[in-house]
Amino acid sequence: MTISRREIYGPVLVVALFLVAGACASLALVAPSLSAAPEASYNASRLVLYYATLPRLATAMLVGAALALAGALFQQVLRNPLADPTTLGVSAGANLALVVASLFIPDLLGTSRDLVALAGSAIAALIVVGLGARRGFSPYSLVLSGLVLSLWCGGLAAILTYLNQRYLASLFIWGSGSLSQQSWAIPLSLLWKTAAVAVVCALIVRPLSILDLGDNSSSALGIRVGRLRFIAIACAVALAAFVTSAIGVISFIGLVAPTISRLAGARRPSQLIFWSPLIGASLLFCADAVLQLVAGGLGDFLPTGAVTAIFGSPLLLALLPRLKIRHRIQQSFVWTKPPPFGATASIGLAAIGLCVVLGISILVGRGIDGSLSMLSGDLASDMLAIRLPKVLAALASGAMLAVAGSILQRLTGNEMSSPEVLGISAGATFGVAIGLFAIAPGLFGQFTFAVTGSIAVLAIIFLSSRRSGFSPERVLLAGIALSAMVDAVVGVLSSTGDPRAALLMRWMSGSTYLVDGPTALAEAGLGVVFIALAFATRRWLDILPLGPSPSAAVGISLARSRLILFALAGLLTGAATLTVGPLSFVGLMGPHLAREAGLTRALPQMVGAALIGGALMVTADFLGRTIVSPYQIPAGLVSAMIGAPFLMFMMRKKA
């Protein structure tokens, strides 16, 4: 088999380009240290060079190589061009395991840090690969389940950090992927671990190449496909765990490096596995050197992992049109499940359930002795003045998210669409972050920035999905990619040390702690107005899912109606996100539970979803302030802990 010039020289040129650029940035970075005049006893600049700058650059190369090799293994063995430790949730699983160990079993970190990270990575990989195996390792199902698992692990880690800030606050920048070093211990440790795994990978390169023929053909040639797949995934998981244990989560290098390898000419699996680590090492070396040079004194504090996510997410968006999806989501534009009790009775039961939840949330709480008790006594009026605004804001926000989810699910024909999964909530977060760091707006200004961010994300998803005919799987993946990029931007802003970062983090967690009466009334007023507008579009939402021809036949303009409905979903999401944060999953659960109750027409479904969504968020708020009283877990995070497993259960159910 002949090898073309492009297969030889293309990857070499790419590696050389990154190395030269990184070397130039590194020389500019270390030039002051090299030119400094020696002092009598020691040279502080050169000590920083030898024990901080050079170890950091070496760590960047080793981490880039390890993550790129892990990504190449995942992509080859799963036959999925979007697989890497980030998109499959492996790195997030390791990070969560380390956070849990730091809090509950700190002794393990001193003796078995790598084993803790390996355990977290292995559990995450088992969950994601198990879900993917039920759907024939569909690229869509693997990536979606992996990214949702990442959101869940990130949310749980955020809760633990929120409740134990004194112990875990220092993990924030580290968890975002900090390459800062103070000695050669970490790079030397990574060197022998990565080398050991690389030896195993070299032994399985030839069998991995045969996997391209398919499982049946590979088995006929004597390859034990199951065992080979297990070894390759174990190697990739180990590499991701070693990196996360050492420096935190570095995003998307495992996706970017193999992709660049293919574009440079590496077509065969052996070439991909050989060149991906070299390109990954030179790429992260170049990126970190440039980051330190540009950021100056902030270079040691900016998490490199968040910066790489900012550039990796657009690449994921660019790759979506090339993704070959072998298993498409089954679209169901008209749901016909009959109501078990009738539509009116189902809505009535939902309303009764909401009233019960409201009563419990308002009247029940933790007493001074820590036990649950009914509201009574002289402090009743004061407690009501504190609780009522929080309950009202949670109710309005949950209802708005559920109605927004109903609109999006009917427009996309995909019952796994929601403001959270599509990245609309993340867009609202980005808008608020820009507002806080730019002009520090009030409530109305925050709402304006949140809505602008939501609609901007919707516009990007709309434009990026037009070529695929708005296929649900590509719409969802585009939204999740945007969510990852927005989270990275927020992480970079938060790591700058600006006092407003604490306010942003509290707001992102979905805490109702600071909600007062005027804010709650404003939130409720926005909810009433926007939900009423959504109810007014019920005719469009009943007819549009039937397709373009029936809609045009009754005089509905597809472009105008879709634009209005998407804008309305953005308004609802932006207003709700102001109170409960960007990651609640109520926009997913509310419409789905309403549909399970048999509410299939647009208006009954939106009414039922609003009641159920409001009840879910009020329940999350109640649990958040009673589970670990006197501390409070933000309602948005409590809801996310329920919503992410709910989405994965739906995927498993539809396997």
Preceding peptide of 630 cis, ω within 30°: yes
pLDDT value, residue 525:
92
How confident is the model at residue 329, as a pLDDT? 41
Q: Which amino acid is at 500?
A: R
Element containing residue 581 per DSSP (H, E) = none
For 398, left (φ over 0), alpha (ψ -120 to 50), or beta? Answer: alpha
Residue 302 pLDDT exceeds 70:
no
Cα–Cα dist 72/230, whole Å = 15
List, for residues 216-250, the tens digit of each pLDDT value.
777 777 777 778 888 888 899 999 889 888 887 78
Cα–Cα distance for residue pair 62/68, rounded to 1 Å? 10
Range from 32-41, 215-224, 557-566, 607-616 carrying the lowest mean pLDDT: 32-41
pLDDT for 532: 94
**For range 465-470, the mean pLDDT:** 59
In contact, 74 and 84? CB cutoff 8 Å: yes
At 334, the pLDDT band (50, 70, 90 cuts) reads very low
Give strand pairing partners of 560.
Answer: none
> Once rounded to an integer, what is the mean pLDDT over residues 371-393?
79
Quick one: which of 249, 232, 257 has its CA closest to 93?
249
- The CA distances from residue 383 to 358, 376, 389, 566, in Å, are 15, 9, 11, 39
Most confident of 29-33, 143-147, 535-539, 549-553: 535-539
In this prediction, residue 606 carries a pLDDT of 92
pLDDT band at 474 (very low <50, low <70, confident <90, very high): low
Mean pLDDT of the chain: 78
Q: What's the CA gap between 188 and 186, in Å, rounded?
A: 5
**How many CA atoms are closer than 13 Å to the CA of 336, on its beta-carbon side?**
3
In the chain, count H helices and then E strands: 29, 2
327 — pLDDT class (breaks 50, 70, 90): very low
The average pLDDT across 140-160 equals: 75
The whole-number average pLDDT for the span 45-65 is: 85
Q: Using the predicted structure, report yes or no on whether residue 403 has a pLDDT greater than 90.
A: yes
CA distance 11 to 63: 19
Does the domain formed by 389-653 have CATH 1.10.3470.10?
Answer: yes
Task: Return the pLDDT at 653.
Answer: 62
- What's 7's DSSP letter? H
The pLDDT of residue 341 is above 70: no
Domain range annotation of the chain = 51-322, 389-653
171 has a pLDDT exceeding 80: no
Over the range 615-651, which residues count as b (16 or more CB within 10 Å of their CB) and which as e? bbbbbbbbbbbeeeeeebbbbbbbbbbbbbeebbeeb
Are the CB atoms for 154 and 92 separated by under 8 Å?
yes
Helix or strand run (H / E) with residue 207: helix 205-210
**Cβ neighbours around 147 below 10 Å, total:** 26
Residue 328, pLDDT > 60, answer: no
Lowest mean pLDDT among 72-86, 139-153, 176-190, 339-353: 139-153
Which CA distances in Å does 192 have to 195, 196, 198, 238, 344? 5, 6, 10, 13, 66
Average pLDDT over residues 613-637: 83
Q: Which residue has the higher pLDDT, 415 or 450?
A: 450
Q: Provide the pLDDT for residue 326.
A: 43
Q: What is the pLDDT of residues 570-588, one digit of tens each?
A: 888 888 887 777 766 788 8
Side-chain-side CA neighbours of 383 within 13 Å: the count stands at 16
**Of the candidates 467, 475, 433, the residue with the CA atom closest to the CA atom of residue 450:** 433
Question: CA end-to-end span of the chain, whole Å?
Answer: 40
Q: What was the pLDDT predicted at 322? A: 59
Task: Answer whether CATH 1.10.3470.10 is correct for domain 51-322.
Answer: yes
